[in-house]
């Protein structure tokens, strides 16, 4: 139920409350974007037809680096 | 049976945990975490490292009570167009399920989200359309946004939304099982942030990690919990920073607060949990199906609501019994013939265990 799928905003509709989201597997579907401040090109998590948060790509990379760092720190 | 995007990193995390020689029990409260754990064989892998990990009351469909199911069935029988997420359709009530009602000619429709339900109301102005609003903080903002957008008068919701922090408190207060750490649900946390969990660390000395849903996320969360325990710490850490901020999604929180107020509510397998539910504020009562169809629902007023005979969903949701520990599991109770909701929902631990059992 709390499953949320990441997708990319490819077009914001004229009512400004919806956007076309590309899920990268050939699926494109409209989502409500009234709960997030997004722009075209942003990656969002979509749950039950609503974008609930923007995904931070930099943070994703940082997290992975941090994991590696944490693990190697333990060695010392 | 062990697949990962970064297998080397996963192996490294596992070997770190193994070295610590722990014997711990963790609880998570999300069907998607359970899916990751079982699908990738992480639960048995972690067990070999001394960590038992199970799902608590973290499946919105599963914690919906028999009374709420009966309310929906009554409304369907009374001629409303009843709409809900697919998982709700097969949850058995005392004698029926929404799916059965549909077969009997009632107008019951599966929707992907609440906006689809509003669309049905717009297309059927002479019919009453009720949306069964289940879900935690992840889902409730979508309900709030729609209610605030002035949907048609023939639309209403049967509000079954619940919120997580006080349910976690209830699990700890009941003290039926010893839990050494909590893995907090990533997508609930996108909305509420990490701050609402702080009191659990402070008051119950509970180590907590908010985690994402890739195998690496879950393994890392376990490692972070082990580290906290080894260092004798109890705090809230955020492993899922790519989607979760400490303060959460403020737009969603604002709209939730405008539309809903907290209420006491019963969870399946639990008594009434204070402040763990959401109800529509007075201003939006015209969309409350329980008020709008009060007369129709009177038939349930004196009724006693029982769990299905022999069903241990309550014990499973409290982390006392594993799915395979239920005598009904995989014989009388299967996804095609579910006895309790944990076997129905794709987020229910019995359903997940059943689906992956042959692949282990």
Domains, chain B? 23-59+167-238 (3.40.50.11750), 61-163+249-300 (3.40.50.11740), 313-353 (no CATH)
Per the model's pLDDT, the better-predicted residue between A32 and B305 turns out to be A32
Contacts of A55 in chain B (CB under 8 A): 242-243
Confidence of residue B45 (pLDDT cuts 50, 70, 90): very high
Q: Are B221 and B32 in contact (CB under 8 A)?
A: no
The answer to whether residue A44 scores a pLDDT higher than 60 is: yes
Mean pLDDT of B10-31: 95
- What region, left, alpha or beta, does residue B153 occupy, with left being phi > 0 and alpha being psi -120 to 50 degrees? alpha
The reported pLDDT for the residue numbered A75 is 52
Q: Taking the complete model, does pTM exceed 0.90, yes or no?
A: yes
Contacts of B255 in chain A (CB under 8 A): 35
Kindly determine whether residue A52 and residue B141, on different chains, have CB atoms separated by under 8 Å.
yes
Chain A: give the shortest CA distance to residue B295, in Å: 31
The reported pLDDT for the residue numbered B2 is 35
Chain A residues within 8 Å of chain B (Cβ atoms) = 1-4, 32, 34-37, 45, 47-50, 52-53, 55-57, 59-60, 62-64, 67-68, 71, 74
Alpha carbon distance B82, B84 (integer Å): 7
Which residue among B13, B59, B115 sits closest to A49, beta carbon to beta carbon? B115
How many contacts does A have with B, using Cβ atoms within 8 A?
111
Which chain B residue has its CA at the smallest distance from A63's CA?
A: B241
The reported pLDDT for the residue numbered B360 is 63
User: B229 at the A interface (CB within 8 A)?
Assistant: no
Which residue among A35, A49, A68 sits closest to B112, beta carbon to beta carbon? A49
Distance of CA B134 to the CA centre of its chain: 9
Question: Residue B193's closest CA among B138, B254, B247, B139?
Answer: B247
Kindly determine whether residue A36 and residue B251, on different chains, have CB atoms separated by under 8 Å.
yes
User: B242 at the A interface (CB within 8 A)?
Assistant: yes
Percent of chain B whose predicted confidence (pLDDT) is above 90: 91
User: B131 at the A interface (CB within 8 A)?
Assistant: no
The reported pLDDT for the residue numbered A1 is 58
The answer to whether residue A74 scores a pLDDT higher than 60 is: no
Strand partners, A21: A9, A29
Contacts of B251 in chain A (CB under 8 A): 34-37
Alpha carbon distance B284, B210 (integer Å): 33
User: B99 at the A interface (CB within 8 A)?
Assistant: no
Kindly determine whether residue B139 and residue A37, on different chains, have CB atoms separated by under 8 Å.
no
ipTM of the complex: 0.91
Kindly determine whether residue B138 and residue A57, on different chains, have CB atoms separated by under 8 Å.
no
Burial label, B8 (beta-carbon count in 10 A; 0-12, 13-18, 19+): exposed
Kindly determine whether residue A4 and residue B190, on different chains, have CB atoms separated by under 8 Å.
yes
Q: Are B115 and B86 in contact (CB under 8 A)?
A: no
Alpha carbon distance B189, A6 (integer Å): 16
The answer to whether residue B229 scores a pLDDT higher than 60 is: yes
Kindly determine whether residue A52 and residue B138, on different chains, have CB atoms separated by under 8 Å.
yes
Domains of chain A are 5-75 (2.30.30.140)
Mean pLDDT of B271-292: 97
The reported pLDDT for the residue numbered A24 is 87
Give the full edge-to-edge strand order of the sheet including B108-110. B108-110, B81-84, B129-135, B155-161
Burial annotation B171-189 (CB, 10 A radius, 16+ → b, else e): bbeeeeeebbbbbbbbbbb
pLDDT in tens, B67-98: 999 999 999 999 999 999 998 999 999 889 99
Kindly determine whether residue B139 and residue A48, on different chains, have CB atoms separated by under 8 Å.
yes
Kindly determine whether residue B139 and residue A1, on different chains, have CB atoms separated by under 8 Å.
yes
The answer to whether residue B3 scores a pLDDT higher than 50 is: no
pLDDT in tens, B124-158: 999 999 999 999 999 999 999 999 999 999 999 99
Contacts of A44 in chain B (CB under 8 A): none
The tokens 């990738």 sit on which residue? B40
């Amino acid at each position: 139920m709390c499953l949320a799928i990441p997708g990319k905003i490819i077009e914001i509709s004229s009512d400004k409350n919806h956007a076309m989201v590309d899920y990268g597997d050939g699926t494109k579907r409209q989502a409500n974007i009234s709960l997030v401040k997004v722009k075209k090109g942003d990656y969002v998590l979509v749950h039950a037809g609503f974008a609930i948060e923007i995904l931070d790509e930099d943070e994703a990379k940082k997290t992975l680096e941090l994991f590696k760092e944490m693990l190697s720190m333990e060695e010392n | 049976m062990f697949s990962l995007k970064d297998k080397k990193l996963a192996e490294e995390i596992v070997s770190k945990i193994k070295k610590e020689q722990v014997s711990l029990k963790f609880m998570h409260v999300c069907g998607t975490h359970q899916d990751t754990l079982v699908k990738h064989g992480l639960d048995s892998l972690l067990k070999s490292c001394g960590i038992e990990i199970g799902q608590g009351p973290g499946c919105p469909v599963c914690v919906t009570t028999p009374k709420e199911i009966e309310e929906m069935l009554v409304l369907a029988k009374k001629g409303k167009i009843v709409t809900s997420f697919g998982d709700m359709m097969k949850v058995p009530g005392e004698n029926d399920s929404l799916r059965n009602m549909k077969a009997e000619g009632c107008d019951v429709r599966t929707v992907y989200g609440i906006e689809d339900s509003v669309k049905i109301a717009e297309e059927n102005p002479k019919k009453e359309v009720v949306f069964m609003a289940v879900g935690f903080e992840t889902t409730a903002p979508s309900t709030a946004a729609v209610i605030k957008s002035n949907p048609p008068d023939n639309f209403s919701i049967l509000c079954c939304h619940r919120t997580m922090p006080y349910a976690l408190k209830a699990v700890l207060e009941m003290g039926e099982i010893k839990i050494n750490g909590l893995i907090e649900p990533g997508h609930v946390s996108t909305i509420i942030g990490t701050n609402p969990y702080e009191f659990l660390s402070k008051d119950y000395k509970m180590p907590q990690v908010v985690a994402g849903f890739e195998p690496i996320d879950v393994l890392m969360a376990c490692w972070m919990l082990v580290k906290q325990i080894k260092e004798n710490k109890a705090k809230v850490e955020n492993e899922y920073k790519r989607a979760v901020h400490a303060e959460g999604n403020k737009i969603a929180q604002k709209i939730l607060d405008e539309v809903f107020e907290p209420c006491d509510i019963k969870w399946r397998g639990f008594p009434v949990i204070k402040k763990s539910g959401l109800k529509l504020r007075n201003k939006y009562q015209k969309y409350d199906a329980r008020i709008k169809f009060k007369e129709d629902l009177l038939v349930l007023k004196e009724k006693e609501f029982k769990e299905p005979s022999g069903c241990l969903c309550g014990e499973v949701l409290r982390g006392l019994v594993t799915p395979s520990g239920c005598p009904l599991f995989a014989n009388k109770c299967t996804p095609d013939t579910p006895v309790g909701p944990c076997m129905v929902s794709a987020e229910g631990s019995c359903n997940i265990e059943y689906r992956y059992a042959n692949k282990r």
